[in-house]
Structure 1
Amino acid sequence: MPSSDAKALSEWVTGVTRELGLEETLDSLGVVDLVLDMASDVAHGVSRPGAPVTAFLLGVAAGRADDPAVAARDYAGKISKLAEGWGSDDERGEPANDQSRRG
């Protein structure tokens, strides 16, 4: 049996998805786990307030793509990887946000 938090989150995401007219465009359950994992990586690797802002940026970027669900997965992976290395400039010898190294 799901916890009350999980049930509330599921109901909330379903309601928001309907309200925004997104029910046909994405797998909301998969997206929830994806966003929560990425936000956790940002909160622990960068800063707590950075997590919701990053989730918003992920949504904006994915929404501009031809296939938002695929883009969200791709971007979330990139963001998580960036968050894991954030603040480790001394170890890598390169700034974590070096734009010249982006693909």
Structure 2
Amino acid sequence: MSDESKAMSEWVLAVSRELGLEEAVESDATVDMVLDLTSDVAHGVSRPAAPVTAFLIGLAAGRAADPAVAARDFAQKIGDLADGWGSDAERGSAAHDQQARG
């Protein structure tokens, strides 16, 4: 494990503990998901939009019955939105549209 990976893992664990989220965060999987999402947003939309998007997904997921599942679902949906951002393709349903999500 690189020094950077070790520092990231320790930081995520410390923040999770501080916020009472130890049981809700799958450290490595969560970090990878957030980094992938923010990379998609930074490259497809704008760099400053990346951390704001991660924050918004966290807020939305925190309101869901199962926040961990919702976070993964929202990250996928918003990542897809970012990938197609600026294209002429028709956008999908809104992330909060529960009927469209099935």
Moved more, 47-56 or 27-36: 27-36
Residues 1:75 and 2:68 are matched in the alignment = no
* TM, length-normalised to structure 2: 0.86
Q: Give SS of 1:22's match.
A: coil
Q: Give SS of 2:55's match.
A: helix
Query: Highest Rg: 1 or 2?
Result: 1
Match of 2:12 in 1: 13
Match of 2:49 in 1: 50
Question: Gaps (5+ residues) in structure 2?
Answer: none
Match of 2:86 in 1: 87
The one-letter amino acid paired with 2:29 is: G
Count of residues paired in the alignment: 96
RMSD: 1.6
Match of 1:23 in 2: 22
Question: Gaps (5+ residues) in structure 1?
Answer: none
Distance 1:98 1:66 in 2: 20
Q: Deviations over 1:49-82 (max 9, x none)?
A: 0000000001001100111110011000000100
Match of 1:60 in 2: 59
Distance 1:26 1:63 in 2: 12
Distance 1:37 1:86 in 2: 16
Distance 1:45 1:67 in 2: 28
* TM, length-normalised to structure 1: 0.85
The one-letter amino acid paired with 1:69 is: A
Q: Give SS of 1:25's match.
A: coil
- How far did residue 97 of structure 1 move? 8.0
